[in-house]
Structure formats: structure tokens, C-alpha cells
Structure 1
Amino acid sequence: MGTFFPRMLFGAAYYTEYQPYERLAQDLDLMAEAGFGVIRVGESVWSTWEPREGQFDLDWLQPVLDAAHDRGIKAVVGTPTYAVPPWLRRKYPETAARSGTGQPIPYGMRQDADYSHPAFRHLAERLVRRIVGRYADHPAVIGWQVDNEPGLRLFHNDSVFQGFLDHLRERYGDVETLNRRWGLTYWSHRLQDWADLWTPDGNSTPSYDLAWRRYQSRLTQEYITWHAELVRGLVPEHHFVTTCVALGQQGLDISAIGRPLDVTGANIYYAGQEGLALPGPDEPADGLHPFFVPWSGPAWLYLQNDLARGIRQEPFLVMETNATSIGGSADNFPLYRGQARQAVWSMVARGARMIEYWHWHSLHYGAETYWGGILGHSLEPGRTYQELSLIAGELRQAGPAIDGLRPRSDVAMLLSADSRWAMEFMAPLRGAAPAWFGDPQSYDRIVAAFYRGLFDAGLSVDIVSPEQLPPDPQELVDRWPVLAVPALYVADDATLDLLRRYAEAGGHLVLTPRTGYADEEAVARHEVMPGVLRPAAGACYQEFTNVLTPVTITPGDRSLPGPALHGHATAWADGLVPEGATVLAGYGHPHLGQFAAVTTHEYGAGRVTYVGTVPDRELSHSLADWVAAVSLPPDAWRADRPASVTCTSAATADGAVLRFVHNWAWDPVDYRLPDDVRDLFTGGHLAAGSSLALGPWDVRVLVERDTERDIERDGDTPATPPSPTAPTSSRRTP
């Protein structure tokens, strides 16, 4: 990372080819004046690069890169393979992705080609070699984005299905093994020959679906690996290769997609306006956020940052984020003044090394006409441009303090692509309309419930996948004293045993409904749950129920230290029976009252806490407070915060600590500082116990004082600069 990104990069995607008139010099002058240092170019216009098959126009980007270089602006060049030209679909119809057997996706959107097809690969490679060969030595170019947002679709092409069959033969060897592992005796699905396997369109077998989803992810992984290796072989060593990951794509395992890349690139989109309010509503109101943002609040923004960092367990690039309104023509929610600045410092605090907006200018045509750019349809600088100019100035002023920044986290959360896929197919929670296979968002709902509780409690989170867990349980404990495991429905024996040994070695393991319920084939285990984790949990269950109306939690044993749990059980309840565990909470319900809702059990040198329900926000918050009280060192920065304030931290390259203090609300607040600090931008000293003034939608970046020399140099006069979120018509001078 340090080789590629010695300094923070800040900029936007830029498409001179989309502008309604010639304004290249004007655009790049505005960027340079704003302090932008990077642009992303070229990734969406195959038909511009190759207007007819075999006829290439490679020169059109040269003026853009030349002008950028003249102004000290770097460029990331994207390969345009995710949006194919009409001639390709017309001449090579076999490359069209199919949404079902024999059902080609109609042309007219994007990401509608089967990127595993040899004809597509041939055409893509021919173009990529020409683009990269043309610009690999341009001095403005620092990196390459291969494709864009891969994994949007599942491919049902016949060639894909035949490849899936080959994959199954390799994995299982013979049909009898497959019959046994998938339980195909049921409903007379036993195979006598590989040719008997039905296509996935009407499949109802969970193990089949999980294997199909894994194979689709493998296709995406193979494609990005092929693409990255192709580009890497053509560019200088100091160039990086990435892609733009849209978190949550159905044909993608985000824990694997980063392996062939030099650095993770990801989209970080979030709901603005009241969608960033804290505390905010427990459930998002209708119209509060764009249709593709599943929930709101600062916790959603932080979760995406943590997911992006978790892809490679290292800092990441933000390839796209909100400039203003995002979404469709009815999603017009420009950010309030100050919210873009809040988001940027959130991303920096959690590991972003580059932040690019999508995009520089609002488009005047096409499906994304109302996905707002830094410049609106008038193409004149306005409030968004002014605010981002101020942010660019702050990033430059921060300089070495944020170079090599390492986010600090309190706990880890284990996320599993297999479990997500299995729960999308056969979900435990009910949705708005009852369905045989439940709400396909069940996994995300459970993850969100626990993540937001940790966030509300002031705890920072590392996201890790089962494959990324160190095999030594003591190493796991040393790195993460608390490990939350939401809905790990699909898990092999080795993973479950590692979790058990983690607790035995001294870790605090937090389990939730469905954890360990099925094996690696998504077959329900034939043992009393939680199976291999039962002795460690000190509790078991044999029955469970959906919960249609929230059930009040009742207090349990108060002999343990820490705050009492309170709130409600929602959506699901395991009938937990203690077997040595202490009951932390029960159900206030005439039937469920016979069971425990939350238990905890000392095991070896550690502890296992089992949460048998999907907690509401209140319960999740109180649970996180309790976990912190019993298993984490005290942190005065978490205590006594106003309801709208968050405090996160990161370590600088030279060992200092930066504190990022946000106010996610309209009302100004004062926050009493627990330690001596120095304001990163004013240099002013603020003493422990003094009041830090936070304006509406404000953020302050503070350096913790750690030497007497600093105290003598800075003095003891609190410094309260004007809120940078106040209206202004000029850029801040760094």
C-alpha cells in the first residue's frame, strides 16, 4: 500500500466524452483549483474505444491525460468491458448473459455479457491490450481498474451450466457421493448419471443452490483474476491494479475478490440528509434513502468502510461515493452542508487511501441523468464544489498525519458469503409478505442488527471471513478479544472447532441464531444445537420460533458485572436451555418465558455468549455495552457521549492516535474531552475535561497528546475554531 499510495488521493470520475460541449481545460482547471489530485477515466465506453469491430480509436483519451498531467492530476484508467457495444451483441449473440435457461438478458442496460465465454474473452483481451499498451507509459497514469462492479448477475448460459457440471464432477467424483451429500433421495431427485442434473431454474434443493452460487462467484473470481493478470503483465511495476467492488453483488464473494488485486477498490454509497442522523429512527421511514441503500444511519456508512477494508484486511480505495443525490429520478436527496465532510473523515478513519466521487458532472442523458455529480446540469460550480474544495484542503493540511493511518478496532465480526447465499435461498426470517422460503434479506438483517448495536455502543469493528481467520486460536484472541459471529448458518467442522478453541484460549465468542446449524453443504446438522459449540456455550436448544411481534426482554442473573440487558426480541427466538450458562435475559412472554433469550458461559480462559434472538436496537446496544464491560478495557472516549456523537480512532504511522469526533445532527453539542488533545488543523490545545464544540453535521480531528514537550509547546488554551460546516463561498487555505 505504501508504495502505491504515499499520500491520500482525492478526486472524481471524469468523462469528457459525456460533456455536451468542449470544456476539458475548464473542467481540469476547476479540479486543480479545488485541490483534486486524481481522476478515473475510460471505463464505460467500449463503443468509443472500438466503434466497429476491429476498428480502434485510442487517441481520444490522450488530451485528457495530457491536460491532467499538466495540472498535477493523476489518473486511474478503467477497462471498458462491463458495458458492451451494440455491434458485439449483434455479431456475437452467444456472449449474451442469460437470466434463465434459454433466456438472454435484453440489450439496453450493462453487465449483460457472459464474461466466462471464450468469444467475449477474446474480444475483451484484444481491446484491453490496445488500451493498456497505448497508455501504460503515460506519466499521469498511476493505476488500472479492471472491469467495473463485477458479479451483478448470475449466468444461466448453457456453457456455464456445463462448466458447473464439470466442477461438480471434480468436487464429488461420482453421482452417488453427490446424492448422499445433497440428500437427493428427497422428492426422488437421486441422480443415476451426471446428465440427470436439472438446470437451476426450478431448483428447490438448498445444497444445489449453494453449490451454484459458489460456482457463480468462482466465475467472477476467475474473470477478475484473468483480467488483472492481463493488465499487470502490460504495465510498470509501480502501477496498481484494482476493480470497483459493489458490495453485496449476488455473483460475488467479497472475501475472495481482493486476492488477485493489488488493492481493494469499492463503492461506498449511503443515505444522506436525515439518513445520516444519529440517533435517527430505529427503522428507516419510507423515502428516507435511495432504493438501493437497504438501511440508513452512520452505522451503514461505517459498515461499508469496514467491509471494504475486510476484503484484503488492509486499507482500500473508494472508487465511488456520494457527491450529492444518488439513485434514480425520484431519489433527490442532496447532502446537507457538512455531511460530505463527515463522510470523508469517516472513510479516512476506517482505512480509505483514495476517495473518488461518482462523478464530476451530472449527466444530461441516460439512465443516470439524476445521479448527481459535483457539478450539476448547469456545469457551474456550486455548494457541492465549494464544500469538496474545503475537504480537499483539509486532507492536504492533514498530510503525514493520515499517511499510513491504521484504523483501530475493538471487536471482530465474522461474515460468511456461504451463509448469506444459503439464507437468500432458504431464509429463516419472514418478510413483509409471507413466503415459503422467507425473506431473502434475512442474513443482512441479522448482521445489521448486531453491527448497529456495536456501533451505537461506540465500538469499532473489523470484518473478517472464515477463510481469513488465523488458524492459531491464541493469535486470534490476541488480535480480537471479542468475536461476534452473526448467523454463520453454513460452517464446516474445522471452522466451528476453531471458534470453540478461540473461546477456550481466552476470547469472548458471541453467537447468534442459526450459527452452526448447517454443514458446508447447507444440510441441517443432526445434533442438538448449537452442536459442536454446545459445551462451550453451556446451553442448547431444540426448538425455535419466528416472532411476529417484538417481545420484551426480562432481566436475568445480575451477579455478573456489567449493565443489565434491556430491549426487545424480534423476528426469531431460540428456546435456549441453560446447561451451566448464566442467563443474562429471558423472554417476557407466557410461552417463551420458559427459555433463556441470552446466556453467557465461561469456557476455558474465555467466554461464550449466546444471543437467541434478533435484537432490536435497544437490546443490541445494551448487549454491546455489556460485552465491552466484561471483555474490553475501559475507554473514556466511549463513555458519556451525547446521543448524536461518535468517536473513532486510528493510529498514525509514527505511533500517535487520531480521534475523529462527529456530530450527526442539526443541534450543536458540546463533548467533554477525556484526554488532552491537539486540533489537527488549528494546532490548538484542548485540555482533558474541557468542552469540544461541535456544530451541526460537524467533525473534529484531534491528535492525542502523549509527551510533556507537546504540552509545553501548545499551551493550555482550548482552541475552538469556527465550524467548517458554516456557509462559505471560498475555499479554506491549507
Structure 2
Amino acid sequence: MGTSSPRMLFGAAYYTEYQPYERLAQDLDLMAEAGFSVIRVGESVWSTWEPREGQFALDWLQPVLDAAQERGIKAIIGTPTYAVPPWLRRKYPETAARSGTGQPIPYGMRQDADYSHPAFRHLAERLVRKIVGRYADHPAVIGWQVDNEPGLRIFHNDSVFQGFLDHLRDRYGDVETLNRRWGLTYWSHRLQDWADLWTPDGNSTPSYDLAWRRYQSQLTQEYITWHAELVRGLVPEHHFVTTCVALGQQGLDISAIGKPLDVAGANIYYATQDGLALPGSDEPEGGLYPFFVAWSGPAWLYLQNDMARGIRQEPFLVMETNATSIGGSADNFPLYRGQARQAVWSMVARGARMIEYWHWHSLHYGAETYWGGILGHSLEPGRTYDELSAIAGEFKQAGSAIEGLRPRSDVAMLLSADSRWAMEFMAPLRGNTPAWFGDPQSYDRIVAAFYRGLFDAGLSVDIVSPEQLPSSPEELVERWPVLVVPALYIADDATLDLLRRHAKAGGHLVLTPRTGYADEEAVARHTVMPGVLRPATGVRYQEFTNVLTPVTVTQGDGTSYGPALHGHATAWADGLIAEGATVLAGYDHAHLGQFAAVTTHEYGDGRVTYVGTVPDRELSRSLADWIAAVSVPSDAWREDRPPSVTCTSATTADGAVLRFVHNWAWDPVGYRLPGDVRDLFTGERFAAGTALELGSWDVRLFIEREGDSPLDRTPAATTVPTAPISPSPSPRRTP
């Protein structure tokens, strides 16, 4: 995806087949009047496409696409394979996904079929070929979404387990190697034959669970690869192929799922109303929002954006996002006026090339009756329609200024699917209810703690996976000079050595608890920690403890490098002993006081900072401020802001810098411009130092440094290259 990408796309999923009466022309007229440019259609109704096995009804979509084309609206067609019809379950019960050995998932929801089963593949391919063959040449169609939100389930089907056994044979060769690598002497689990391997239902071995989760992700990636190649072989070269990634699904690795796609598509859902306030709550909030929104605040929204861009290290499509209330019948939190506009411009700032709402009209029946659409149950335009129409007008007004934007980032954060899976099974942190294997949200809690501190400090973040890291430490430093590594629990020696060499080559490496503690098999390393990173960190530890109540940190020697740290340690503490590292913070605690909480160590041409605890929001913010002072180029837009204001930036196709200034609060706030700018929408010019007022839930866009080249004036630490790390699967044009 380069700077030649066409205009931004803006629209919604549209289902004429769900409407209570005929209103196609009225709906498409309303979309055209609102300035919508794209719809997604067809992905949820296999039983409409194929009402009986082998009897296909393909013509019903034609009027929708014709009406869209007449009004200049483009379409993305979704293949409907994620929601199977009742006849398929009845006639092919062997395709039912199983939640446990011998336990088929009861029919009545969705994503309840084993997509690795040959019978399912046969039926799916037959249908996909019919749909794609019918509509591949329609002029309204620009792309295809294959399946929808893959990876929701972990399949326990017997055929899946047998495939897992074959996978283990290929990987390990013989059972003795597996016994040794997994430590199966423990509890008499040694295998004498491959047939001895037990099913995963009662498993308690971490290495087994990690291998099982990896295999499930492999099944998902293989399915999407098969699906994408099938569609790609049937459509014109100018069409793109994507899928709709729900970023938290248990059965996929988001960086792997992007490889077979032409462009990544993701759901971006977020807490609304006071859940978007900044500063907002001091801690992530659970239980107040739908389960797929883990915590509140604009930092969550930005984390989802950055994860979506990290799928392929390229711009992305927002396949679904909040139109109004999201979730179930008791999750009714429509956006405050202005919040939809704030969210849209945050997505654009972080790399979105399309914003598509789920969905156009609220449903009158079914499980998602109260997941609100742009039109409510009355089907009459209201406040949401009016606000989104205004946003579409801003897109049109912005024109080429937002085409080919490249988000600017200050730091990178390394996220690992392996580490997340391993910590879901054997977690280090305690939850509200004590459990033998801890809180399965431990990894996400640690990531949240560090990401939110970076966000509060005004630092923009690239998300990268271990597999996406350049193999050359010099290239890694050039691309990501500051690399934050939260809880990289699962890591092979080569990855840890690359991190070490990143620091030695001039990078700033920030490590946290659990990094490198286990090897690639989830086996705890038998060395004084942090193991191979010990010389680079200048610290060692041999003990650690859970922390039940927050502990105030004491100031160390941080002021000799940057601002002093302050706040509290929570949840965990490594017993860090400095071996040449500078202690930035300690613990105000009778026992923990003997250990360091945060250290930093110059190593080669760079440095390694080790954070031995899970910081609260105050400590995380002060740590991020310290990192910025030491290793990130100064930026007045970031450094002098009211508490409710954020400033993010992107480089335009012609080399200017586009600044996005948000006020995440009810109260208007004054803001003094750090540089000479032009308002993107009004064209008004302002000199540096001009005092402006940002309104309630407001966002302003300013063009700065017009006419500069994209690279001459942009520090390396804040540049995100648009080229992917690995080539696209085909030279297809993407939106």
C-alpha cells in the first residue's frame, strides 16, 4: 500500500435481506446523500445464497450492486462461510466444531463449523465459486472479504487432533524428542508411542498447550490462505482480498493471518461516553463494556488501530466500528456528540484507508437486535446519521491531504501471540479470584499497563511481532530505535540475541517482567535471569513475587539521565540486583526495598532499561516521559498539552505533516499551537503561539511544514515506512 492509494473509503455494512420491508432505493439514496462511498454485503447469509443443498439463489444481490453503482458507491462482497445454514448441520454433522472431545457445539449461533474439515471445504468452495463467478465482473465491486472474524473457536474435533499428531511427528520426529522437549517425565506423562498422547481437554502441561494453540492458529491461517487464493484466482487483478480480523480471537495470530491478504481488515470497537475520557479512570475498567472491549480510554482505541496496522506493517481497512451502541441488550452506550468524529480521525491518523460501520440499520430480530446501526429501529435518519454525514463531508473536503498518509511513531512495542497464549494457560498475575494458573488476562494486563503510559506521555506506537523484526540489528535500530518488549515470556535464543544486538547497535531496549523466562517450548530456562540478556541489562534476579497491594516506588538516579520516576508498583516484582546498571527507582517496602524496581544500563552504542514490575498508570507515564527525554526526538506538540488533549501526526503524500489534535473531554480547553499551521478544513493560518479553544469532544486537523520532502525533516524515530517487511502475495492494487 503506497502513496498512490485512491481516495479514502467511508461507508457501512448493508443487508437489504434483513430489512422488514422493501427500501433499497431509499437506503442507497440516504447513503449517497450522506457521502458514503462503500458498502459491505452478503457475508452472513449462506442460507439465502444456498437455501437447499445444491440449489443456489444468486440474483438477489444484483439490485443492491446496481443501485450502489448508480450512486457511485462501491461494494465489498463477503463470502458467507462463517455462518452455516441448518441443512448443512443436519446433513453433515461431522462438520460441526467441537468444544471438547466428543462435544459438538450446539447449532444456533455462528462460527460453529470446523473449517478444516474436507466436507466443509467442499461445500464452501462450491458456494464461493458460484458467488464470485456471478459478481466478479460487476463494476461496483472493488474487493472481497473472505469469511468473517476467523479464529473464534478452538476446535477439538478428532480429525483436528489427528492432524495435530501428524504436526507433532513432523516437528519432533519421535516421541523421545517430544518427551525431552516438553518435560513429560513429570507426573508420569512420558509417551511410548504417538498413540499415547492424550487429548487436550484435561491437559496440564504448558508445552502441550502452547503447541496446541499454535496448531489452531495454523489451521486458521491455512484456511484463510486457501480461501484467499480461491477468490484471487476468480476475480480481476484490480480487486483486493481481505478478511475481517477480530483482534482478540483466541484461534489466530494476527500477524500470521495477514500474510495471504492483499490488505488487512480489522474490527475497531471501543468504549464510548465517559469511557473515552482523558485522563479518565486510572486503571483499565472491566465489566462496564462488552467483553471484547477490555478497558476504557482513548488509549484502547489507539492500541486497536496500531495492532491493525501491525498485521501487515501497512495501512489497513476498518471493516467494522461503532455506529452507536455495541454489544448485547444491556450494553446501551451511544456515542456522545462528537465522539464518532474523534474516533474516525484517530483511525485515519494511525493508518486506516477505509472506515466502515457495522452496520447501516439496527436489526429487528436476532442475537444482535440491540447492536445499533446508523439508522435505529425506526429506520429514520437521526443524530448518528447526521454526524456521520458531516464526517463524510470532511473526508471530501480533506481530499488528497489524507490520501497515502503515513503514521508517524515514536516507539515500537513487540507483541507476541506465543507469549499471550502461554500466559493464558499459566499466568503470572493474580486475578480477582485466586486460581492455580492465575489470571488468563495477565499478558493483556501487562501490555495495557505499558501501552497506556506511552499514550499518556504522547508517544505514538508501532506494534510489531517477533517474526516481523528485521534480522539485522542495524536495520532494526534504524526502523525502531526504541523497542518496548512487554512480557515476552516465550522466546527462542535467536530472538533474545537479536534484542541484545539491537541495544548494542544503538537502540533503546525496554524490558519488563517475564521477558525471556521460558524458551520456545514454554519450558522455564535454567539460568540466572534475565539469562542471555543479563550482560546487556546489567542486572540479575533469582526470585520474584506477586504484589497484592500497590507499593510506592522510590527515586533512584533517574534525574542524572532524565526526569525522576514516581508512582506505584503493582501485581509483580522481580528481585532485581544491579550489576552495573543504574537504579532509576526502588521500592518503599521493608522487603522489596533491597531490590531495584527500574534500572537502565548503557550497552554498546545503546541502552537497556529493565522494568521489574507492572507499573500503575502514574509510574508508566513517568517511565514513558523518561524514555522520551532520553531517546525520542523532542516534539513540542507532544510535550506541552492540557491533560485531556492528545496530538498525533502523520506525513502526507507530498511531505507535509498533518497534526491531529483531540480534546477527549466535555470541558472546552485552551491549546497554544507549537508551530505555524494551516487548518485543514477552514484554510485559516495560525502562527506558532496562537491560543485556540478546543470544544467538547473536539478534534482539529492542522497542516504543518507544507512542501517538505517526507524524509528530510522527519526524525528516523518517528517515521513508519509504508513498505511491508515481506512482499505482498501478489502485485494487486489495494484500496
User: TM-score, length-normalised on structure 2?
Assistant: 0.96
Letter of the aligned partner of 1:472 in structure 2? Answer: S
What residue is the counterpart of 1:693 in the other structure?
Answer: 693
The alpha-carbon distance between structure 1 residues 70 and 706, as it changes in their structure 2 partners (threshold 3 A), is: closer
SS in 2 for 1:565: coil
What residue is the counterpart of 1:536 in the other structure?
Answer: 536
Structure 2 residue 160 is matched with structure 1 residue 164? no
Question: Can you list the C-alpha shifts for 1:692-717, whole angstroms capped at 9, x where unaligned?
Answer: 22000000000003479xxxxxxxxx
CA contact (8 A) 1:146 1:243 kept: yes
User: TM-score, length-normalised on structure 1?
Assistant: 0.96
Question: Can you list the C-alpha shifts for 1:24-63, whole angstroms capped at 9, x where unaligned?
Answer: 0000000000000000000000000000000000000000
Structure 2 residue 456 is matched with structure 1 residue 453? no
Distance in 2 between residues matched to 1:166 and 1:91, nearest whole Å = 28
CA contact (8 A) 2:285 2:296 kept: no
Give matches, 1:580-599, under 5 Å. 580-599=580-599
What residue is the counterpart of 1:704 in the other structure?
Answer: 704
Identity fraction in percent: 89
Higher alpha-carbon deviation: 419-428 or 698-707: 698-707
What residue is the counterpart of 2:634 in the other structure?
Answer: 634
CA contact (8 A) 1:554 1:585 kept: yes
CA contact (8 A) 1:244 1:265 kept: yes
SS in 2 for 1:144: strand
Question: Can you list the C-alpha shifts for 1:514-533, whole angstroms capped at 9, x where unaligned?
Answer: 00000000000000000000
SS in 1 for 2:661: strand
CA contact (8 A) 2:647 2:661 kept: yes
CA contact (8 A) 2:97 2:114 kept: yes
Give matches, 1:531-570, under 5 Å. 531-558=531-558, 560-570=560-570
CA contact (8 A) 1:678 1:705 kept: no
Distance in 2 between residues matched to 1:618 and 1:357, nearest whole Å = 35
What residue is the counterpart of 2:421 in the other structure?
Answer: 421
Structure 2 residue 116 is matched with structure 1 residue 155? no
Question: Can you list the C-alpha shifts for 1:87-135, whole angstroms capped at 9, x where unaligned?
Answer: 0000000000000000000000000000000000000000000000000
Letter of the aligned partner of 1:468 in structure 2? Answer: Q
CA contact (8 A) 1:266 1:308 kept: yes
Letter of the aligned partner of 1:422 in structure 2? Answer: A
CA contact (8 A) 2:656 2:707 kept: no
The alpha-carbon distance between structure 1 residues 445 and 286, as it changes in their structure 2 partners (threshold 3 A), is: closer
CA contact (8 A) 2:286 2:295 kept: no
Structure 2 residue 474 is matched with structure 1 residue 483? no
Letter of the aligned partner of 2:106 in structure 1? Answer: P
Higher alpha-carbon deviation: 200-209 or 559-568: 559-568
Structure 2 residue 686 is matched with structure 1 residue 681? no
What residue is the counterpart of 1:612 in the other structure?
Answer: 612
What residue is the counterpart of 1:655 in the other structure?
Answer: 655
Quote how far apart the aligned CAs of 1:560 are. Answer: 1.9
SS in 1 for 2:142: strand
What residue is the counterpart of 2:517 in the other structure?
Answer: 517
What residue is the counterpart of 1:112 in the other structure?
Answer: 112
Quote how far apart the aligned CAs of 1:4 are. Answer: 8.9
Quote how far apart the aligned CAs of 1:2 are. Answer: 4.7
Quote how far apart the aligned CAs of 1:655 are. Answer: 0.5
Letter of the aligned partner of 2:218 in structure 1? Answer: R
SS in 2 for 1:61: helix
Letter of the aligned partner of 1:593 in structure 2? Answer: G
CA contact (8 A) 1:586 1:595 kept: yes
Letter of the aligned partner of 2:603 in structure 1? Answer: Y
Distance in 1 between residues matched to 2:62 and 2:520, nearest whole Å = 51
CA contact (8 A) 2:413 2:461 kept: yes
What residue is the counterpart of 1:323 in the other structure?
Answer: 323
Structure 2 residue 20 is matched with structure 1 residue 20? yes
Paired residue total: 708
Question: Can you list the C-alpha shifts for 1:623-660, whole angstroms capped at 9, x where unaligned?
Answer: 00000001111111112200000000000011100000
Structure 2 residue 256 is matched with structure 1 residue 236? no
Distance in 2 between residues matched to 1:52 and 1:369, nearest whole Å = 26
Letter of the aligned partner of 1:226 in structure 2? Answer: W
Distance in 1 between residues matched to 2:387 and 2:137, nearest whole Å = 34
Letter of the aligned partner of 2:117 in structure 1? Answer: H
What residue is the counterpart of 2:600 in the other structure?
Answer: 600
Structure 2 residue 294 is matched with structure 1 residue 294? yes
Distance in 2 between residues matched to 1:68 and 1:435, nearest whole Å = 54
Quote how far apart the aligned CAs of 1:287 are. Answer: 5.9
Question: Can you list the C-alpha shifts for 1:378-397, whole angstroms capped at 9, x where unaligned?
Answer: 00000000000000000111
The alpha-carbon distance between structure 1 residues 285 and 538, as it changes in their structure 2 partners (threshold 3 A), is: closer
Letter of the aligned partner of 2:130 in structure 1? Answer: R
What residue is the counterpart of 1:87 in the other structure?
Answer: 87
SS in 1 for 2:637: coil
Distance in 2 between residues matched to 1:505 and 1:163, nearest whole Å = 43
Distance in 2 between residues matched to 1:245 and 1:394, nearest whole Å = 27
Give matches, 1:60-139, under 5 Å. 60-139=60-139
Letter of the aligned partner of 1:121 in structure 2? Answer: R
Give matches, 1:571-586, under 5 Å. 571-586=571-586
Distance in 1 between residues matched to 2:214 and 2:560, nearest whole Å = 43
What residue is the counterpart of 2:250 in the other structure?
Answer: 250
CA contact (8 A) 1:3 1:238 kept: no
What residue is the counterpart of 1:469 in the other structure?
Answer: 469
Quote how far apart the aligned CAs of 1:691 are. Answer: 1.0
What residue is the counterpart of 2:392 in the other structure?
Answer: 392
CA contact (8 A) 2:655 2:706 kept: no
Quote how far apart the aligned CAs of 1:288 are. Answer: 3.9
The alpha-carbon distance between structure 1 residues 367 and 4, as it changes in their structure 2 partners (threshold 3 A), is: farther
Distance in 1 between residues matched to 2:182 and 2:515, nearest whole Å = 20
The alignment's C-alpha RMSD in Å is 1.0
Quote how far apart the aligned CAs of 1:286 are. Answer: 6.6
Distance in 2 between residues matched to 1:99 and 1:291, nearest whole Å = 20
Letter of the aligned partner of 2:53 in structure 1? Answer: E
Distance in 2 between residues matched to 1:632 and 1:229, nearest whole Å = 42
Distance in 2 between residues matched to 1:286 and 1:674, nearest whole Å = 37
CA contact (8 A) 1:550 1:569 kept: yes
Distance in 2 between residues matched to 1:71 and 1:489, nearest whole Å = 52
Letter of the aligned partner of 1:578 in structure 2? Answer: A
CA contact (8 A) 1:100 1:157 kept: yes
SS in 1 for 2:296: coil
What residue is the counterpart of 2:226 in the other structure?
Answer: 226
Distance in 1 between residues matched to 2:659 and 2:247, nearest whole Å = 27
Question: Can you list the C-alpha shifts for 1:568-602, whole angstroms capped at 9, x where unaligned?
Answer: 00000000000000000001100000000000000
What residue is the counterpart of 2:11 in the other structure?
Answer: 11
Distance in 1 between residues matched to 2:4 and 2:223, nearest whole Å = 24
CA contact (8 A) 2:89 2:96 kept: yes
CA contact (8 A) 1:274 1:288 kept: no
What residue is the counterpart of 1:140 in the other structure?
Answer: 140
Letter of the aligned partner of 1:33 in structure 2? Answer: E
Distance in 2 between residues matched to 1:702 and 1:528, nearest whole Å = 51
Question: Can you list the C-alpha shifts for 1:403-453, whole angstroms capped at 9, x where unaligned?
Answer: 000000000000000000000000000001000000000000000000000
What residue is the counterpart of 2:359 in the other structure?
Answer: 359
Quote how far apart the aligned CAs of 1:329 are. Answer: 0.3
Question: Can you list the C-alpha shifts for 1:199-249, whole angstroms capped at 9, x where unaligned?
Answer: 000000000000000000000000000000000000000000000000010
Letter of the aligned partner of 1:693 in structure 2? Answer: E
Distance in 2 between residues matched to 1:472 and 1:158, nearest whole Å = 42
Quote how far apart the aligned CAs of 1:315 are. Answer: 0.1
SS in 1 for 2:60: coil
Distance in 2 between residues matched to 1:675 and 1:122, nearest whole Å = 60
Distance in 1 between residues matched to 2:482 and 2:696, nearest whole Å = 34
Distance in 1 between residues matched to 2:124 and 2:332, nearest whole Å = 36
Quote how far apart the aligned CAs of 1:283 are. Answer: 2.6
Structure 2 residue 349 is matched with structure 1 residue 349? yes
What residue is the counterpart of 1:724 in the other structure?
Answer: none
What residue is the counterpart of 2:718 in the other structure?
Answer: none
Distance in 2 between residues matched to 1:282 and 1:167, nearest whole Å = 45
Quote how far apart the aligned CAs of 1:292 are. Answer: 2.6
Distance in 1 between residues matched to 2:216 and 2:494, nearest whole Å = 24
Letter of the aligned partner of 2:600 in structure 1? Answer: T
Quote how far apart the aligned CAs of 1:290 are. Answer: 2.6
